Amino acid sequence: MNRAAILTSAAALALTLAPAAQAFEMTYGSYTSPTQTNNREGILPTIERITEATNGELTFETFTGGAMGGPKELLGNVGSGILDSASVVDIYVKSSIPVSAMLSSMMPIGGDPKVMAGAMNEMQLLNCPECVAERERNNVLGLSFSAIAAMHIICREPKANLADFQGVKISAPSGLGPGMQAIGATPVSITTAEMYEALNRGQIDCVIGSPAWLDAYNLKDFAQSVTTTPVGDYFGVMNWAINLDVWNDLTPEMQAAFKGEMAKGIGDILWAYVDDNEKAMAAFEEKGGRMLDHDEAFLAAWKEQQDNTVALTVEKGRADGIENAQEIVDTFLGLVAKWEKIVADGEGSKEHYIEALQREVFDRI
């Protein structure tokens, strides 16, 4: 046998004896349904792309609808290894990740979800060592944060002016309740599952939420008006909370596949929420619903509450033991200003936004 044949045979034998790349299956949990926007447009397509990018070496088993824990259990279930990964809403686990919850509690300043999600990703992943440390204490790595759809005021009877909301019972998320109370409304604490019956029975007059709720929760059955200007947004959804030990067991190629797909997943979620809202509002108007502009008195009063939100957040953060709360909040607000410019420069382009997220955040991790 000549030298070339010997080398060819040796190489073939080496390939035969070499261990195959190890396949890895991760579990993923969500307390929302598979058709919910985050899952439908973000998580599930991202999972498919990661599997494809790793040539099938990394696969996933998903558990949606709370099958592996509700919003208060998922963080602990990931940290303990019951799940490999999950979506986590920080306000439900404030005692475990207080810095993250402090940031996302500033709901009144969140007029544009794209801006807030961009700022939150850059803050959480690159500019907040306290955020990283509190996740590590829970044995979790955070990767990818998104916002929900902008929140408007939906009412049983037409309401938009400041005078309209005096004494009005309104279902408002916790981060928006104090501001609504300060301008004269009466916040009522109920779950989203209770909104329909509460509006039907007159137990509440209005709901602060996404216009898409007109369809998702059938609020269109009773609502007569929706205000055109958002009054806030929630931007603390951790799309990917990953068990830290599991993350460290992934190959560099698998980790790179994650980092390469997060920006697109976030962009797809955010644009889908915008589309959901626009479709719901258009259908609402077609059926006789009224889209109403706030008067100047309301806008001025709400601007004051937005300003107060920052000071109140710092005060509550310090009370919760976050000594440098002011510095953390100031850093975040600086990033909000940065992402306002990035979003404005993109002129509505999702591709521009995804590229900016990849460049400014995920390529720097």
Tens of pLDDT, residue by residue over 207-243, are 999 999 999 889 999 999 999 999 999 999 999 999 9
pLDDT for the residue 193: 81
pLDDT for the residue 2: 44
Q: Which of 75, 89, 94 is nearest to 141 (CA)?
A: 75
pLDDT for the residue 21: 52
Q: How far apart are CA 240 and CA 262, in angstroms?
A: 9
pLDDT for the residue 13: 40
Give 267's contacts (C-beta < 8 A, 6+ positions apart). 350, 353, 354, 357
Domain ranges of the chain: 23-147+234-285+348-364
pTM of the model as a whole = 0.88
Pair of tokens at residue 2 = 């000549």
pLDDT for the residue 23: 86
Q: How far apart are CA 247 and CA 257, in angstroms?
A: 12
Give 11's contacts (C-beta < 8 A, 6+ positions apart). none
Check: CB of residue 232 under 8 Å from CB of residue 109.
yes
Residues in the chain, pLDDT under 70 = 1-21
* Fold assignment, 23-147+234-285+348-364: D-Maltodextrin-Binding Protein; domain 2 (3.40.190)
Pair of tokens at residue 173 = 């998320």
Q: Provide the residue type at 136 as one letter.
A: E
Residue pLDDT, tens place only, 96-106: 999 999 999 99
Kindly list the distances between the CA atom of residue 219 and the CA atoms of 150, 166, 177, 192, 306, in Å, as whole numbers in the listed order.
Answer: 17, 22, 20, 11, 27
Residue pLDDT, tens place only, 297-333: 999 999 999 999 999 999 999 999 999 999 999 999 9
Q: Which of 86, 40, 89 is nearest to 61 (CA)?
A: 86
pLDDT for the residue 344: 97
Q: How far apart are CA 128 and CA 333, in angstroms?
A: 13
